[in-house]
Amino acid sequence: MSGRVALTFDDGPDPVWTPRVMDALADAGARATFFVVAPLAGRYPGLLRRMVGEGHEVAFHCNRHARHDRMTAAEIQADAREGLEILDTLGHRVHDWRAPWGVVTGDTARVAEGLGLRLVGWTADSEDWRGGPVDEMVGGLAQVMEAGAVVLMHDAVGPGALRDGCGRTVDLVAPLVSMARSRDLTPVPLGGMPGRLPVRNPGNVAGV
């Protein structure tokens, strides 16, 4: 049975790792979605232009990388507004929002609705932030790679990560795309995903 899956990358853009992730996606002929940290986007606007130019989607991660369950509704609202304003100034209208660590509260949902953003979590966690071997990440993802899967990866070293670079995420792209294709699954940006998507971290607890 054919289907679609989404490859997603959080915490960038990063001047070293984001271009290498995009190179790997280009080599694999796959398109993805990048949930960006707005101030980093403001610092590296060329990386967002390249994302769009290569058919990827830019989506919103955060302005400040903080847990929503430790923020007031007003703080969540202010963070999203400030972040969206930065992206808007750069010429990017975003539709999807992944909260930091995928931690979503009732306030997050209300702010998202007010701003016209769709909250998107994931179904398949690469746990790439641990810095483990590529074959273990592929093996773990193989258990949950099915139509509608949303795969979480990181194109930057975010808060709490146990690794000092994203080389293994770069190396994960090719085998992950071939594993998906061997199951007749096509990687598409989130805008091309049919049906309902998860809105949060499956456990709604902080990993990284």
Q: Which is closer to Zn ion, CB of 38 or CB of 185?
A: 38
Q: Does residue 10 touch Zn ion according to CB under 5 A?
A: yes
Residue 182 is classified by DSSP as H
Indicate the residue among 4 and 158 with the shorter CB distance to Zn ion.
158
Task: Reduce the DSSP state of residue 118 to 3 states and report it.
Answer: strand
Measured from the CB atom, the residue of 59 and 188 that comes closer to Zn ion is: 59
Shortest distance, position 193 Cβ to Zn ion, whole Å: 20
In the annotation, is 154 catalytic?
Answer: yes
Cβ 106 to Zn ion, closest distance in Å? 21
d(CA 168, CA 98): 22
Name which of residues 77 to 116 contact Zn ion (CB under 5 A). Answer: 100
Let me know: does 197 contact 120? Beta carbons within 8 Å: yes
Extract the runs of DSSP E, i.e. beta strands, from the chain. Answer: 3-10, 33-37, 57-62, 96-97, 118-119, 124-125, 150-154, 185-187
Binding site for Zn ion (CB under 5 A): 10-11, 100, 158
Residues annotated as part of the active site: 10, 154
